[in-house]
Amino acid sequence: MTTPKTLSFVHRFESGTDPAQPPLLLLHGTGGDESDLLPLGRSLAPGASLLSPRGPVLENGMPRFFRRLAEGVFDEADLRRRAGDLADFIAEARAAYGIAAPVALGFSNGANIAAAMLLLRPEALAGAVLLRPMVPLSDVPAADLAGTPVLILSGSADPIVPEENARRLADQLGRAGAEVEHAVLPAGHGLTKDDIVRVEGWLRRRQPGDQNAFL
């Protein structure tokens, strides 16, 4: 493991052993931290570099990536600012660690800020895996996501994210040009074995044999 450098976000970084694989940007859910998704990242993409920041916002002591006004109601001004901050951190980390643009792997709150970054700062990410995301912005920016691969996994019994909301996000990203794969799984808000299998398959189809998969 590489010793983390002092950057704008508290984070963990693990240098990969396979430069053909894109780095993974691991974005935790509410109450997680920079160590939360490292085991999942190692399992899903052995050999890939892992960059895992801690959300800088505290809600009742629990780290998040942006503020919300209530469950499912986002502080969109704060979300826009925090998405910009996170995109700037990615640029810092790329320079500091010598890595390519990462593929985001975000769960819940982490998936939501990844979706916001795709729309607001599309240059920051080479692709994204969004686990239990919802529409982040009511005023959808005009983004150019031509060819950007995105996997969205929703839960049919998710009590937080209505299925219609996730389908609307998939449509927004698709209309911006992203190559979106969206599956609704028989699950709630938590992750299941089916999520892991589908993410593994999606990543495997795009690395390292297809050199243009994340360009």
Catalytic residue numbers? 108, 158, 189
Handedness of CA 143, 54, 72, 78 (dihedral sign): negative
Cα separation, 120 vs 141, in Å, equals: 7
Of 188, 199, 72, 70, which Cα lies nearest the Cα of 135? 72
> What's the distance, CA 67 to chain centroid?
17
CA atoms lying within 13 Å on the CB side of residue 47: 10
Structure tokens at 147: 């060819």
